[in-house]
Amino acid sequence: MFNSNNRNIAARSFRDNRFQSPVDLPNLLQLSGNLALESRADPINYLGNNKICQDEVDLKAKISNQNPVSTGLRLSYDDDERNSSITSGSMKAASSVLPSLSDEIRREVDQQKEELDNFLRSQEQNMMRGLRDINQRQMTSFLTALEKTVVKKLHEKDVELETVARKNKELSESIKNITTEAQNWCHMAKYNESLVNVMKTNLQQVIQDSNRRKRVQQENDVDDAASCIDPKGPRGSTIVENSMICKSCKKKGVSVLLMPCRHLCLCRDCEGFVSVCPLCQMVITTSFEVYLS
């Protein structure tokens, strides 16, 4: 495994430095020529060093066997003491290195644990941030959809209100038209009622005038007959005077000629109050004032 020169050098160096601090142990390992120099020592390497020391002891035993010299029990005791010293020194060096290795491993484990905690913490933060973003996007989309729905409903309600307002306006106009038409019918009914009353009054007046006309006609016939007998007599003059008196008021003289019947039977004051001729009961269309000398 190792050549004899390296084993001799390693054995002598270990014997010379066995009572020194374990910090010099890497230098000893460098002298072996087969172990790498590092700040951290491996306990397996130190077991290899023990094997090197054991090989050195075996080599010396072989050399002594090749050149047998009678030294007695003292030489055997010195060899045993030397071997025990080497073994105890190797164990002490290994035991002094083990705590530093455990501390280094503990620090490494703590560092790895801290890095793992930091990684898990960062992942947790990223996950929470992602969940917040997802919740925010979902809430935003929900609010957007809700806003669209509310706007749509409000628009529909506005359209319904406009429709109701338009129908109310149409109904108001219809009610107004119906009210106006009802008023017109009321006015027409009143007008017709008044017209009926007027016609009734006119009919009564016509009946009265007809009766009076008959009486006047009879009187005129009597007067005509009397005037034919004695036109210059007193009765004849009385009949002429009666024929020149207004047939409506019986007081003033006649001065208005009625058309189309052409009767001269009303005075000027009674013209505006009479619509039919007092003699023939014909409706008066126009009249003319006549000046008698």
Q: Where are the domains of the chain?
A: 4-122, 245-293
Segment 224-240 shows an average pLDDT of 47
What's the mean pLDDT in 32-57? 44
Measured torsion, CA atoms of residues 134, 139, 145, 150, in degrees rounded to the nearest 10: 180
Is residue 127 within 8 Å of 135, Cβ to Cβ?
no
Architecture of the domain made up of 245-293: 2-Layer Sandwich (3.30)
Whether the model pTM is above 0.75: no
H runs (alpha helix) in the chain? 4-16, 25-31, 43-66, 73-229, 234-243
Q: Which of 14-28, 45-59, 76-90, 187-201 has the highest mean pLDDT?
A: 187-201
- The sheet carrying 256-259 orders its strands as 264-266, 256-259, 286-289
Question: What distances in angstroms separate CA 260 from CA 100, 140, 280, one per listed residue?
Answer: 156, 98, 11
138, 202, 212, 253, 285 from 268: Cα distances, Å: 103, 21, 21, 9, 16
Look at residue 29 in the predicted model and tell me its pLDDT.
41
Structure confidence by residue, pLDDT tens digits, 190-222: 888 887 787 777 777 767 777 777 776 666 655
Averaged pLDDT of the chain: 70
Which residue, 293, 291, 252, 286, is CA-closest to 269? 252
Q: Which two tokens stand for residue 165?
A: 């307002």
- For residues 266 and 268, what is the distance between their CA atoms, to the nearest angstrom? 7
